[in-house]
Amino acid sequence: MLALSLQLGATAKAVAFVMAGRSLNDVLADGSVVKPDLRAGVQALSFAVLRNWGMARALRELLASREPMPPVDALLCTALALLVSEPDSGASYTDFTLVNQAVDAAKSHSKTRSSASFINATLRRFLRERETLMKQARQSEEAQYNHPQWWIDQMRREQPHKWQTILAANQMKPSLTLRVNLAKTTMSEFIAVLDEQGVAWHEADSALVQTKQDMACGLALQDAPPVTSLPHYAVGWFSVQDLAAQGAATQLLSDEFLFELVVRARQGHKIRVLDACAAPGGKTTHLIERLLQAFAHAGMPVLSGDDWGKHFEVIALEVDAKRAKRIHENLSRLKQRAIVKITDAANLASWWDGTPFDAVLLDAPCTASGIVRRHPDVRWLRRESDATAMGHIQLAMLQALWATLRTQGRLLYATCSVFETEGGVVKQRFLQANGNAKALDSHGLWLPSLQHDGFYDALFDKTAD
Ligand SMILES: C[S@@+](CC[C@H](N)C(=O)[O-])C[C@H]1O[C@@H](n2cnc3c(N)ncnc32)[C@H](O)[C@@H]1O
């Protein structure tokens, strides 16, 4: 096993990069920052550190009268964050092991070596005075809730009765949620295989994703084993997808709308579905699964080769070529087909042939403020003005894509944000600007909870002009 001191040193470096504005995923993938053999350990430690960074910074301010040099500060705050993290945080070391290893980490780097005794003394003082220091630190809301102050203030303004629950939910470790591929298997068949292999699971709530019981496909696993080790991953029996995200395809292609689409297909129309912001393809593949299932139920199965494209066509757009590769990988694992185009969805001239769509999904780029459980760096990376700026971009995309929808077609606008300016505000502005848009019932704002991420969705029907 790799020495903890090595992992602590690399974690401090990784977190310092995050605080300078780089996403944790980007930093972890950068071999010049985190060596590949340290990656898994550094990821687990970084998650725990980022979840406790507000408290760690406040403690460091109380413990050191002057701000230490950046590398020393990063290591000290990293160690403090781990000393205050929950026992199940992925950093379950005894206090003394952590302190000793942090001191060893300091000694092994030229930029921190001369401060090793300072780090040692400061951390040991923390252990002696922990209760008093933490009580004092909690006077700062940033320390108490481990989010930036502007974020706390905004949540309090927008959700006066729920803001504390939301901030607490952001601190939780998410479970691994799967979407069973009902075009390939059934819930009972997949569950039987999980049981055989001793994988603990519980069914996610089908009422949450608003679909009939026989089309419900969410399963949460208590532990998070490596996904590829789960049965039949390679042959596409399931995908990893949060429960709130599963609500997107089930609301756009609801049971009742799918029935209409099947009738339309019987009348000889090819059904056209657009996923405008598609990578890595989680929702594209779910849309396809629902179409496959609905056509199979109707006795019009789409089984293979030439049948694909007979009743429906799915187009997936993505502006980022690297991310678009992931759509192809997911389609191929699930043995599905879609037309993938690398382009700016809002620039219709670059990709649209003028044939209208029956259904459009705009899973828009956003601040990701709803997926802080899975990406604990997000809260420290965002700036106060970001949500409003993203809201403007989303409205412009929504407006452009509206033109591609046929009359009586449906569009679902979704974001994984909990800020109003990337949800309800965009919906209202869009409705005000488009007399032919009618809002249909949809889930709206999903606040993050133990069961799922934070998410927003609004469903529109296009009425005759
Ligand atoms: C929220 S993610 C989509 C997640 C995806 N729907 C899924 O469920 O797997 C938003 C995606 O939109 C892409 N994107 C951002 N701006 C875009 C644009 N103008 N046109 C097309 N894609 C865009 C981003 O690169 C990102 O991959």
The tens digit of pLDDT for each residue in 153-202 reads 999 999 999 999 999 999 998 889 999 999 899 999 999 999 998 888 88
The residue range of the domain holding 259 is: 244-462
Q: Is residue 296's pLDDT more than 60?
A: yes
- Give me the pLDDT at residue 258, please: 97
User: Which pLDDT score, from 0 to 100, does residue 88 have?
Assistant: 67
Per DSSP, 447 falls in state P
pLDDT reported for residue 139: 97
Is the confidence at residue 1, as pLDDT, over 60? no
* CA of 27 relative to ligand 1 center, distance in Å: 21
> Among the three residues 94, 129, 146, which one is the final residue of a domain in this structure?
146
Q: What CATH number is associated with residue 282?
A: 3.40.50.150
Lowest average pLDDT, out of 125-139, 203-217, 321-335, goes to 203-217
| CATH number for the domain harbouring residue 26 | 1.10.940.10
Atom of ligand 1 nearest to the CA of 317: 21
**Residue nearest (by alpha carbon) to ligand 1 atom 9:** 282
Q: How many domains would you assign to the chain? A: 2
- What pLDDT, on the 0 to 100 scale, is given for residue 183? 87
Span 14-28, pLDDT tens digits: 999 999 999 999 999
User: Of 130, 146, 162, which closes a domain?
Assistant: 146
Q: Whole-angstrom Cα distance, residue 411 to residue 97?
A: 54
Q: Is the pLDDT of residue 362 over 90?
A: yes
Given pLDDT bands bounded at 50, 70 and 90, which one contains residue 92?
confident
pLDDT of residue 363: 98
Distance 237 CA to ligand 1 centre (A): 24
Nearest atom within ligand 1 for CA of residue 283? 8
Whole-number Å distance between alpha carbons of 200 and 223: 7
Higher per-residue pLDDT: 401 or 210: 401
What is the atom index within ligand 1 of the atom nearest the CA of 320? 25
What's the token pair of residue 383? 């700036």
Q: Write the pLDDT tens digit of every residue in 253-275.
A: 999 999 999 999 999 999 999 99
Residues 128 and 253 in one domain: no
Residue 425 lies in a domain: yes
Summarize pLDDT for 48-86 with one digit per residue, the tens: 999 999 999 999 999 998 999 999 999 999 999 999 998
Sort 223 into a burial class: Cβ within 10 Å, 0-12 / 13-18 / 19+: exposed
Q: Residue 312's CB: how many other CB atoms inside 10 A? A: 23
Residue of 251, 284, 289, 319 with the most ligand 1 atoms within 8 Å of its CB, for mutation: 319
Pairing of the two strands 339-342 and 312-318: parallel
Q: Which residues form the pocket of ligand 1, taking CB atoms under 6 Å from any ligand atom? A: 245, 277-283, 317-320, 323, 344-346, 363, 365
213 domain residue, yes or no: no
209 is a domain residue: no
- How far, in Å, is the centroid of ligand 1 from the Cα of 98? 40
Query: According to the model, what pLDDT value does residue 250 have?
Result: 94
Position 347 in a domain: yes
**Mutational pocket test of ligand 1: of 23, 246, 273, 277, the residue with most ligand atoms within 8 Å of the beta carbon:** 277
Q: Which atom of ligand 1 is nearest to the CA of 281?
A: 9
Residues 250, 212: Cα–Cα separation, whole Å:
10
Q: How many helices (H) and strands (E) does the chain have?
A: 19, 11
Please give the single-letter amino acid code of residue 222: Q
User: Torsions phi, psi of 317, nearest 5?
Assistant: -110, 150
Residue 212 has a pLDDT of: 66
Q: What is the mean pLDDT of residues 347-367?
A: 98
Give the number of the atom of ligand 1 that is nearest the alpha carbon of residue 282.
Answer: 9
Whether residues 423 and 289 fall in one domain: yes
pLDDT at 303: 67
Catalytic residue from among 77, 277, 366, 416? 416
Residue 282 covered by a domain: yes
pLDDT of residue 465: 72
Asked if pLDDT for residue 2 goes beyond 70, the answer is no
Q: In whole numbers, what is the pLDDT of the chain averaged over residues? A: 94
- Residue 416: active-site member: yes
Residue 220 domain-assigned (yes or no): no
Note whether 136 and 269 are same-domain residues: no
Indicate if 260 and 379 belong to the same structural domain.
Answer: yes
How would residue 216 be classed by pLDDT, with cut points 50, 70 and 90?
confident
At 47 the three-state DSSP class reads helix
Q: How far apart are CA 331 and CA 288, in angstroms?
A: 10
Residue 152 lies in a domain: no
CA 117 to centroid of ligand 1, rounded, Å: 48
Tell me, yes or no, whether 193 lies in a domain.
no
Q: 3-state secondary structure string, 136-174?
A: HHCCCHHHHHCCCHHHHHHHHHHCCCCHHHHHHHCCCCC
Q: What percentage of the chain has pLDDT greater than the value 70?
A: 96
For ligand 1, the distance from its centroid to the CA atom of residue 363, given in whole angstroms, is 7
User: For 439-460, what is each residue's pLDDT tens digit?
Assistant: 999 999 999 998 899 999 999 9
How far apart CA 465 and CA 461 sit, in angstroms, is: 12
Which of 146, 177, 197 marks a domain boundary?
Answer: 146
